[in-house]
A and B are shown apart, each in its own frame.
Chain A
Amino acid sequence: AQSVTQLDSQVPVFEEAPVELRCNYSSSVSVYLFWYVQYPNQGLQLLLKYLSGSTLVKGINGFEAEFNKSQTSFHLRKPSVHISDTAEYFCAVSEGGGNTDKLIFGTGTRLQVFP
């Protein structure tokens, strides 16, 4: 069975500092990996995704993530955060090869950016 672990429930950081949000997954089959962001009182917005190919994936708002198969990780990074990046971030996995929107989500990491 697939599962996703987000190692940090909260990450406080000062504005313009770098940040890394950690995500590990487990699956017995090939997977697709995603990062979503959720702002207060809103739905989820896709930041980036890994399907295949280059292990370094660039997304919107300056975020990037690196797929590491040997460590089963898909950590999200941003070199310099802004106040507006304050939100909840979710890592998700779906089973590779299927035409499905069924995603398994991690429990989320709340990023709090301080001025």
Chain B
Amino acid sequence: KAGVTQTPRYLIKTRGQQVTLSCSPISGHRSVSWYQQTPGQGLQFLFEYFSETQRNKGNFPGRFSGRQFSNSRSEMNVSTLELGDSALYLCASSRAGGPNSPLHFGNGTRLTVT
């Protein structure tokens, strides 16, 4: 069974540009969540989607957005990139969300903003 797949694995962008990251959850998983990992702030929750609806949102500016498609695949978009957006972005999926539904993480997309 394939795990959570994130593409691309590495990305280099320039300040002011926008970027789209993709996440394919494990087959049968309907909940997808996104986390940002930086050395300074650690792991921070971005947002969570279930059945194409945003179920939860973290404390990030509106430049960060996401969506989920009918096949449960998810994308997140960051517009007007800033240097501080450089981070490892992790996607995680579970069957339905909640502690009884194990959360599986992808290996992340490392975004570097120059």
Contact = CB atoms under 8 A, between A and B. Distances in A.
Interface of A: 32, 34, 41-46, 49, 51, 90, 92, 94, 98-108
Nearest to B93: A101
A103 B107 contact: no
Nearest to A105: B43
Interface in B48-101: 48, 55-56, 58, 90, 92, 94, 96-101
Contacts of B96: 99
Nearest to B45: A102
A18 to B, nearest CB: 26
Given A99-B97, A101-B31, 8 more contacts: A42-B107, A43-B106, A43-B108, A44-B105, A51-B99, A101-B92, A102-B56, A106-B42
A61 B108 CA distance: 23
Interface of A: prevailing SS = loop
B111 interface: no
24 contacts: A42-B108, A43-B106, A43-B108, A44-B90, A44-B92, A44-B105, A45-B105, A46-B102, A90-B43, A94-B99, A99-B96, A99-B101, A100-B98, A101-B31, A101-B33, A101-B94, A101-B103, A102-B33, A102-B48, A103-B43, A103-B45, A105-B42, A106-B42, A108-B42
Residue with the highest number of chain B CB atoms closer than 10 Å, among A43, A49, A103: A43
Given A43-B105, A44-B105, A101-B48, A107 B42 contact: yes
Contacts of A104: 45
A43 B9 CA distance: 12
B4 interface: yes
Contacts of B58: 102
A101 B42 contact: no
A31 to B, nearest CB: 10
Contacts of A100: 48, 55-56, 97-98
A35 B92 CA distance: 15
Contacts of A51: 99-100
Contact of A43 (B33, B90, B97, B99): B90
